[in-house]
Amino acid sequence: MAKKGVPLSEMATSDTHGEDSPYFVGWKVYDENPYDAASNPSGVIQMGLAENQVSFDLLEDYLEQHPQEFGWGCGVSSFRENALFQDYHGLKTFTRAVALFMEQIRGGRTQFDPQHIVLTAGATAANELLTFILADPGDGLLIPTPYYPGFDRDLRWRTGVNIIPVHCNSSNGFQITLRALEDACAGAESMKVRVKGLLLTNPSNPLGTAITRPVLEEILDFVAHKGIHLISDEIYSGSVFSSDEFVSMTEIVESGGHQERERVHIVYSLSKDLGLPGYRVGTIYSYNNEVVTTARRMSSFTLVSSQTQKMLASLLSDKEFTENYLRTNRERLKKRYEFVVEGLSNAGIRCLQGNAGLFCWMNLGELLEEPTVEGELSLWNSMLHEAKLNVSPGSSCHCLEAGWFRVCFANMSQQTLEVALMRMKDFTEKMKAKQMISSL
Amino acid sequence: MSPTPSKKSADADAAAAAATATQARSSATGLGGGGGGAGMRLIVPLQGVVQGRGGLVLGTLIPCALFYFLQFYLRRNRSPPPTSPQPPAANGPDLPGIVRSSSRNFLSARGSSGHAAVSSRAASIARSGDSPYFVGTKKCSEDPYHPVDNPDGVIQLGLAENRLSLDLIGDWLARNVTNTLLDERQGGLSISGLATYQPFDGLVELKMAVAEFMGQVMQGSVSFDPSQIIMTAGATPAIEILSFCLADAGNAFLVPSPYYPGYDRNIRWRAGIELIPVPCRSTDNFGLSIPALERAYNQAKMRGVKVRAVLFSNPSNPVGNLLHRETLRDLLDFVTEKGIHVIADEVFAGSTHGTEDFVSMAEVLNTDEFDRSRVHIVYGLSKDLSVPGFRIGLIYSFNEHVIAAASKLARFSSVSVPTQHLLISMLNDTKFITQYIKTNRERLRVMYALLVNGLKQLGVESVKSSGGFYCWTDMSKFMKSYSEKGELELWKEMLNVAKIHLTPGTACHCIEPGWFRLCFTTLTEKDVPVVLERIKRVVDNH
């Protein structure tokens, strides 16, 4: 028999999955030595995973009070149809519930038509699907930096589409500017890459900021002028600390007139706001019928379990519950954020002024040996192995300025967070001392 | 038996298809054109063809869309690419300093609808058009048969759902679901277990439970290793992910035909892999033929197409036959000699109802010295456990690199964690599972026999099937002409006169006209005489 292995595809053997980046390496180090207050107090604290665990008690309570909702309610026959249900339109009760929930997050300022909702198994799938639909292999998607490191894999790997970074910097709080957009387009042109769309994350990951109305309007004008699509990934929209600080792209679209609707597509998911990443519930909301139809068909590769849809339909339609949940979740995240910022401040660390999300964007520039990617990674490495803190280096997020790091704060208990902040303080003091000594 | 076409004409058809396919392929950008002209007609999509992996609407639009996709795609590739893309709708005044012509090159103006065009990958599929076959499934949904409420409605026999044993699963759930959801002791179904990310390729407990189940279902002669399993949201993404791993866009898979119509979408659409049908003949009871594979492989080679794998289903959809151990070994020899992969789609393995034993590809590997790294199995719980809505499928591979890549790709098609927990409980209830498998098989056997014998009385012969949800029947003697056109007309007559929706063989790429696939698992015993009476209406006309 032939000893040589049967060749695989280029895709299977490429490293576009990006899992060799520090972002993922840190996770592996954590997995091998995870912190536990009781059994492993010197383990690595995971601050690189954007999970929301601050409000799951609310879900638990709901489950306890409404056990029937989580089952099949009225018995065997409803189960039968549910088990067979694999229609990519989704369960009507569920898509309606998702639409309602999305409306609530936006304070009722926009309406969502359930018929324009396409369900996918997670936002990861939604983003990839839209990329397949809007761009051909070799085309480009503009993405403002810094951005979620997973995009490199999710949007490029199977699709063959390129990411064209739109560089933002700290001079204006990393806001997206028209100049940056134009520069990125020019760069694409010179590389003979056809730009097909712009993907925004609003609120931003990793910045933890909601994009302001004027910037959103400028962006919509820009995509309209360029004749490209706009994907607004709003998976953190329910995690804005104060609800009136979030402006959805849907609001801009609806106030702006009909022309631009067809190019706007929203991505949402229950993984962050509702803290249910394991459920794999994502959605695409598009004003464009062609995109909706195509996305729906393509969603055959990534359908949401009918059981899960049934399970969540009542929970999401329960207005009293969702209002309370959203309000409470916002408050708790805000508190956490303030706690973290204060703790970091005590350690002499500044953060970008944030108002959303499960993380903050901190600056350790002063601690770098050299203001370069290498310097940043060296510091990151020290933090990981000495302070036993896994944070995400800005370079993994394609940030051009060295020294920025994303710190997640919602995926752990308050106690663990306190331990983490103490370690951070110790670490920065140590590093500063080292710096002083080496400058002598 | 009905007259079969001479071997010569069958091969000639195949050759013609291959030849015309070459022309289309030469300028293809890797999306696998199915061949123009005569070849095109072989790939006629019909509503309801995406059986068992889609609902009514799914089954309607995709095949129709594929029809237009292929037409559009071939036409596009025959003419030079458009030099001036459709201009975007007025987006405002020209900004000073912007050179119109250069900005045009980088606008997404190609495609169907004005200024917010989609990719060419998507544009062609989006146009579903008015395919004649759309009519069929539409009729089913508008006028569905119901024994009491609508006894004259259209009977849907094109959709592969197994309703025969749903009551068993339903009972189990009624007894167990609240417990499994709320009881932490039964494996951590508390919310906190659900509020965190879990491995995208499936919980270890589920892999273990599924491995056990597979061993049981495949009649216990082989055991499955959980570490070789990648769970996916249904077998549909499992096949697609495997395709992405084993071949590059523009490569091809050899697929014995007739085959499951859904492969066309699953494998060609995004992965861009061509499917080359390798006709099986009614004279061989539609058995796999190695010489036919050899011929198809060589023909592909001659037109410069790289074949990367053989894909086959066992039990076969649509025919329902099982492959013998010898055939599986011969197949392994073939792929080894060619240096290619083999994908065994075994989703119906637990749904055997005949007297033959099912032999999994895994079993053959067990006993013989083959290079395992080329073997990959697709499985899932949609068929055997009647839970297609829950989206539980898997790749079982003997290739560690495929496992590594697929486990990362599973992130796009991951199984919902609460559903995983539910299944872990269910699968671990071995007493229930054993009873279920046994009862389900018995019910399949009874229903199959009822329908097949009834059809026989009407003069409609079926291929002997040992597994799956279908009867593969020969209705060629009722066609007006022995051709695809004749088949289409008969299909229409079935729909309009008999008010039965069947899947015609051309949808499954069968080169012998007149074969139809009927799904029997949505029927109750009382429905069978109704179905037979309806078919008789058409039979009597001929």
Contacts of B194 in chain A (CB under 8 A): 276, 278-279
Closest by CA to B409, choosing from A297, A364, A157, is A157
CA atoms within 13 A on the CB side of A298: 30
pLDDT at A381 over 80: yes
pLDDT at B385 over 50: yes
Q: Would you state the structure tokens that stand for residue A7, as one six-digit string?
A: 């060749």
Q: What percent of chain A has pLDDT over 70?
A: 97
Residue A233 designated active-site: yes
Higher local confidence (pLDDT), B19 or B238: B238
The CA radius of gyration of chain A, in Å to the nearest whole number, is: 22
Instruction: Give me the pLDDT at residue B325, please.
Output: 93
pLDDT at B344 over 70: yes
For every residue of B5-60, DSSP letters joined together read PPHHHHHHHHHHHHHHHHHHHHT--SS----SHHHHHHT---TT-STTSS-HHHHH
Kindly indicate the confidence band of residue B64, based on its pLDDT and cuts at 50, 70 and 90.
low
Q: How far apart are the C-alpha atoms of A275 and B417, rounded to whole Å?
A: 13
Instruction: Give me the pLDDT at residue B122, please.
Output: 75
Phi-psi sector, A212: left (phi>0), alpha (psi -120 to 50), beta:
beta
Contacts of A185 in chain B (CB under 8 A): 106
Which of B54, B195, B234 faces A56 most closely, judged by CB atoms? B195
Marked catalytic residue, from A139, A154, A233, A273: A233
Which of A51, A134, A154 faces B119 most closely, judged by CB atoms? A134
Which of A17, A75, A280 faces B174 most closely, judged by CB atoms? A75
Contacts of A282 in chain B (CB under 8 A): none
Cα of B362 vs its chain's centroid, Å? 21
Ranges of H-type helices in A155-280: 178-190, 213-226, 249-256
pLDDT at B56 over 60: no
Contacts of B240 in chain A (CB under 8 A): 301
Instruction: Give me the pLDDT at residue B17, please.
Output: 37
Instruction: Give me the pLDDT at residue A72, please.
Output: 53
How far apart are the CA of B6 and the nearest CA of chain A, in angstroms? 37
Cα of A303 vs its chain's centroid, Å? 20
Q: What is the mean pLDDT of residues B339-366?
A: 94
**Contact yes or no for A302 and B413 at CB 8 A:** yes
Instruction: Give me the pLDDT at residue A281, please.
Output: 96
Asked if A294 and A133 count as a contact pair (C-beta separation under 8 A), the reply is yes
pLDDT at B121 over 50: yes
SS3 B433: helix
SS3 B482: coil
**Contact yes or no for B391 and A9 at CB 8 A:** no
Closest by CA to A256, choosing from A235, A233, A287, A278, is A287
Instruction: Give me the pLDDT at residue B541, please.
Output: 82
A305 and B CB contact within 8 Å: yes
State the DSSP H helix or E strand holding residue B435, giving kind and residue range, or none if neither.
Answer: helix B430-457
**Contact yes or no for B416 and A197 at CB 8 A:** no
**How many beta-carbon pairs below 8 A join chains A and B?**
311
- Beta-bridge partner residues of B393: B232, B380
Closest by CA to B358, choosing from B326, B322, B385, B313, is B322
CA angle B125/B128/B132 to nearest 5° reads 135
Instruction: Give me the pLDDT at residue A268, please.
Output: 98
Q: What is the mean pLDDT of residues A138-158?
A: 96
> Between residues 333 and 372 of chain A, which touch chain B (CB distance below 8 Å)?
none
The CA radius of gyration of chain B, in Å to the nearest whole number, is: 24
**Contact yes or no for A88 and B181 at CB 8 A:** no
Q: Would you state the structure tokens that stand for residue B305, as one six-digit string?
A: 């197409």
Q: What is the mean pLDDT of residues A29-34?
A: 93
Average pLDDT of every residue of chain B: 80
Q: What is the mean pLDDT of residues B374-383?
A: 96
How far apart are the CA of B37 and the nearest CA of chain A, in angstroms? 27
How far apart are the CA of B269 and the nearest CA of chain A, in angstroms? 9
Sheet holding A162-166, edge to edge: A117-120, A282-286, A264-269, A229-233, A195-201, A140-144, A162-166
Instruction: Give me the pLDDT at residue A38, please.
Output: 93
Q: How far apart are the C-alpha atoms of B73 and B67, rounded to whole Å?
A: 10
A254: exposed, middle or buried (Cβ count in 10 Å: 0-12, 13-18, 19+): middle
Q: How far apart are the C-alpha atoms of A63 and A77, rounded to whole Å?
A: 22
Cα of A399 vs its chain's centroid, Å? 16
CA atoms within 13 A on the CB side of B476: 20
Instruction: Give me the pLDDT at residue A172, please.
Output: 96
Residue A148 designated active-site: yes
Say what the alpha-carbon torsion angle A110, A113, A118, A123 is, to the nearest 10 degrees: 20
Residue A272 designated active-site: yes
Kindly indicate the confidence band of residue B448, based on its pLDDT and cuts at 50, 70 and 90.
very high
Chosen from B113, B134, B196 to mutate, greatest number of chain A CBs within 10 A: B196
Closest by CA to B201, choosing from B467, B393, B22, is B393
Instruction: Give me the pLDDT at residue B118, please.
Output: 78
Most confident of A10-24, B78-92, B134-148, B434-448: B434-448
Asked if B397 and A5 count as a contact pair (C-beta separation under 8 A), the reply is no
Instruction: Give me the pLDDT at residue A363, please.
Output: 97
* pLDDT tens digits, A117-138: 999 999 999 999 999 999 999 9
Q: How far apart are the C-alpha atoms of B83 and B89, rounded to whole Å?
A: 18
Instruction: Give me the pLDDT at residue A81, please.
Output: 80
Residue A429 neighbours by CB distance under 10 Å: 12
A423 and B CB contact within 8 Å: no
How far apart are the CA of A158 and the nearest CA of chain B, in angstroms? 8
Cα of A242 vs its chain's centroid, Å? 18
Cα of B322 vs its chain's centroid, Å? 17
Q: How far apart are the C-alpha atoms of B111 and A291, rounded to whole Å?
A: 12
Instruction: Give me the pLDDT at residue B53, please.
Output: 47
* Lowest mean per-residue pLDDT among A134-148, A248-262, B449-463, B521-535: A248-262
Q: How far apart are the C-alpha atoms of B238 and B347, rounded to whole Å?
A: 11
**Contact yes or no for B58 and A87 at CB 8 A:** yes
How far apart are the CA of A44 and the nearest CA of chain B, in angstroms? 17
* Lowest mean per-residue pLDDT among A69-83, A172-186, A325-339, B297-311: A69-83
* pLDDT tens digits, A67-86: 776 655 445 567 778 888 88
Chosen from B72, B411, B440, B521 to mutate, greatest number of chain A CBs within 10 A: B411
Say what the alpha-carbon torsion angle B130, B536, B160, B269 is, to the nearest 10 degrees: -30
Phi, psi dihedrals of residue A350, rounded to the nearest 5°: -95, 150
End-to-end CA distance of chain B: 16
Chosen from A54, A84, A91, A286 to mutate, greatest number of chain B CBs within 10 A: A84
Q: How far apart are the C-alpha atoms of B250 and B274, rounded to whole Å?
A: 6
- pTM score: 0.85
For every residue of A40-101, DSSP letters joined together read BTTSBEE-S-----TTHHHHHHHHHH-HHHHTTSS-HHHHHHHHH---TT--HHHHHHHHHH
Q: How far apart are the C-alpha atoms of A262 and A126, rounded to whole Å?
A: 17
Instruction: Give me the pLDDT at residue B215, please.
Output: 94
How far apart are the CA of B283 and the nearest CA of chain A, in angstroms? 34
Which of A59, A188, A227 faces B91 most closely, judged by CB atoms? A227
**Contact yes or no for A2 and B371 at CB 8 A:** yes
Marked catalytic residue, from A30, A147, A148, A268: A148
Q: How far apart are the C-alpha atoms of A199 and A20, rounded to whole Å?
A: 24
Contacts of B414 in chain A (CB under 8 A): 121-122, 280
Instruction: Give me the pLDDT at residue B540, please.
Output: 87
* pLDDT tens digits, A283-301: 999 999 999 999 999 999 9
Q: Can you give the three-state secondary structure of A130-174, one letter per residue?
A: HHHHHCCCCCEEEEECCCCCHHHHHCCCCCCCEEEEECCCHHHCC
pLDDT at B28 over 70: no
Instruction: Give me the pLDDT at residue B90, please.
Output: 32
Q: Does A206 sit behind a cis peptide bond, omega within 30 degrees of 0 on the bond before it?
A: yes
Instruction: Give me the pLDDT at residue B299, please.
Output: 98
* Lowest mean per-residue pLDDT among A355-364, B16-25, B464-473, B492-501: B16-25
Contacts of B409 in chain A (CB under 8 A): 157-158
How far apart are the CA of A249 and the nearest CA of chain B, in angstroms? 17
B530: exposed, middle or buried (Cβ count in 10 Å: 0-12, 13-18, 19+): middle
Contacts of B92 in chain A (CB under 8 A): 221, 224-225
Q: What is the mean pLDDT of residues A244-252?
A: 94
- Burial B84-97, CB ≥16 within 10 A → b, else e: ebeebeebeeeeee
* pLDDT tens digits, A395-436: 999 999 999 999 999 999 999 999 999 999 999 999 999 888
Kindly indicate the confidence band of residue A1, based on its pLDDT and cuts at 50, 70 and 90.
very low
Instruction: Give me the pLDDT at residue A18, please.
Output: 76
